[in-house]
C-alpha cells in the first residue's frame, strides 16, 4: 500500500509516521508513506503561498484550489488512486469498518484539512472521501491523517507480529476487547482471575468472550445495536 499525504505542515507528521509499527511496516515494504509539502506546488515561486483571502469577507485564509490540483494531478499522473481523502471535522465519522476497507486499498491520497478550510471546489471536484476522526476540532488535519494511517497500516498482514492480534482488537466484532493480564499473578493482593491461570483453554475462551460482551454492554452499548 502507498499513502501520499499532502500538507502545509509536513513536520507535524514526521514522528507519528516514523515510529514503532508504522516504521516497521515501511521498513518491510508493506507500506510506503510519502509526505508532500503543498508549498512545493505553489504558483507563487517567491513566497510559496498556498492560501488567500476568502470571497465574501469572512475571517481567516483559505487554501487555494490551484496548488492542490497541481499536487493531486502530479500524483495521479504516476499511478491510480483508490481514494482521495480529505480530513475534516464535517466528514464521515471514522470507525473500524472504514479502517478495514481502506486497509485493502492499493494507493491513497490524504489531503490534510486546514483550520480555516480549503476552497470548496476542491471538495466538490477532487476529493472522493471526507473523513472526521471525531466530533471535536483540531487545528489541522495532520493528526487525523496520522490516526487514519496508523489504524489502516496495522491491519496489513505482516505489519504486526502476531496477526491474530489485529483480529482480536476492540471493535473487530463490534465488541470491546477483553482485559489482559501478565505476571505477577498477584500484586499487592490484586489477583489475576483464576480462570486465566487454570490452563483450561475452552473455559478461558468462554470467559474472554463473556468479558468482551459484558464490557461492551456496560461501556459502549451502542456497538451492540449499531450497524457499524
- Kind of pairing, strands 83-93 and 51-52? unpaired
41 is in an annotated binding site: no
Nearer to ligand ADE, 138 or 175 (CB): 138
Q: Which residues pair with 3 in a beta bridge?
A: 33, 108
Q: Cell 481502506 sits at which residue?
A: 102
- Residue 179 makes contact with ligand ADE by CB under 6 A: no
Q: Which residue is nearest to ligand ADE (CB)?
A: 144
- Residue 141 makes contact with ligand ADE by CB under 6 A: yes
137 is in an annotated binding site: yes
Nearer to ligand ADE, 7 or 216 (CB): 7
Q: Cell 491513497 sits at which residue?
A: 108
- Residue 219 makes contact with ligand ADE by CB under 6 A: no
Nearer to ligand ADE, 54 or 89 (CB): 89
205 is in an annotated binding site: no
135 is in an annotated binding site: yes
- Residue 178 makes contact with ligand ADE by CB under 6 A: no
Nearer to ligand ADE, 122 or 133 (CB): 133
Nearest CA among 118, 117, 107, 66 for reference residue 84: 107
CA-only gyration radius of the chain, Å: 22
Instruction: Give CA–CA dist 196/107, Å, rounded.
Output: 42
- Residue 89 makes contact with ligand ADE by CB under 6 A: yes
Nearer to ligand ADE, 88 or 216 (CB): 88
Nearer to ligand ADE, 143 or 213 (CB): 143
Nearest CA among 4, 131, 22 for reference residue 68: 4
DSSP 183: S
Q: Which three cell numbers stand for residue 56?
A: 465574501
Please give the distance of CA 210 from its chain centroid, rounded to a whole number.
29
Dihedral angle of Cα 152, 155, 160, 165, to the nearest 10 degrees: 130
- Residue 134 makes contact with ligand ADE by CB under 6 A: yes
Q: Could you say which of 19, 34, 104, 137 contacts ligand ADE (CB under 6 A)?
A: 137
User: What residues between 111 and 130 interact with ligand ADE by CB under 6 A?
Assistant: 113
Q: Which residues pair with 36 in a beta bridge?
A: 6
Instruction: Give CA–CA dist 208/198, Å, rounded.
Output: 13
User: What residues between 48 and 87 interact with ligand ADE by CB under 6 A?
Assistant: 87
- Residue 132 makes contact with ligand ADE by CB under 6 A: yes
Which positions touch ligand ADE (CB under 6 A)? 87-89, 113, 132-134, 136-138, 141, 144
Amino acid at each position: 500500500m502507498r499513502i501520499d499525504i499532502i500538507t502545509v505542515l509536513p513536520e507535524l507528521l514526521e514522528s507519528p509516521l516514523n515510529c514503532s509499527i508504522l516504521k516497521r511496516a515501511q521498513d518491510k515494504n508493506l507500506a510506503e508513506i510519502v509526505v508532500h509539502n503543498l508549498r512545493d506546488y505553489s504558483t507563487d515561486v517567491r513566497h510559496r503561498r498556498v492560501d488567500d483571502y476568502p470571497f465574501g469577507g469572512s475571517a481567516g485564509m483559505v487554501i487555494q484550489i490551484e496548488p492542490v490540483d497541481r499536487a493531486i494531478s502530479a500524483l495521479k499522473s504516476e499511478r491510480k488512486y483508490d481514494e482521495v481523502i480529505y480530513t475534516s471535522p464535517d466528514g464521515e465519522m471514522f470507525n473500524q469498518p472504514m479502517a478495514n476497507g481502506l486497509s485493502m486499498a492499493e494507493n491513497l491520497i490524504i489531503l490534510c484539512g486546514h483550520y480555516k478550510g480549503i476552497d470548496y471546489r476542491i471538495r466538490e471536484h477532487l476529493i472522493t472521501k471526507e473523513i472526521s476522526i471525531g466530533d471535536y476540532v483540531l487545528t489541522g488535519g495532520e493528526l487525523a491523517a496520522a490516526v487514519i494511517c496508523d489504524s489502516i497500516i496495522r491491519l496489513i498482514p505482516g505489519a504486526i507480529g502476531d496477526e491474530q492480534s489485529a483480529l482480536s482488537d476492540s471493535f473487530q466484532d463490534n465488541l470491546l476487547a477483553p482485559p489482559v493480564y501478565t505476571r505477577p499473578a498477584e500484586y499487592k493482593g490484586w489477583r489475576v482471575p483464576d480462570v486465566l491461570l487454570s490452563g483450561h483453554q475452552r473455559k478461558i475462551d468462554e470467559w474472554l468472550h463473556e468479558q468482551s460482551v459484558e464490557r461492551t454492554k456496560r461501556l459502549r452499548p451502542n456497538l451492540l445495536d449499531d450497524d457499524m
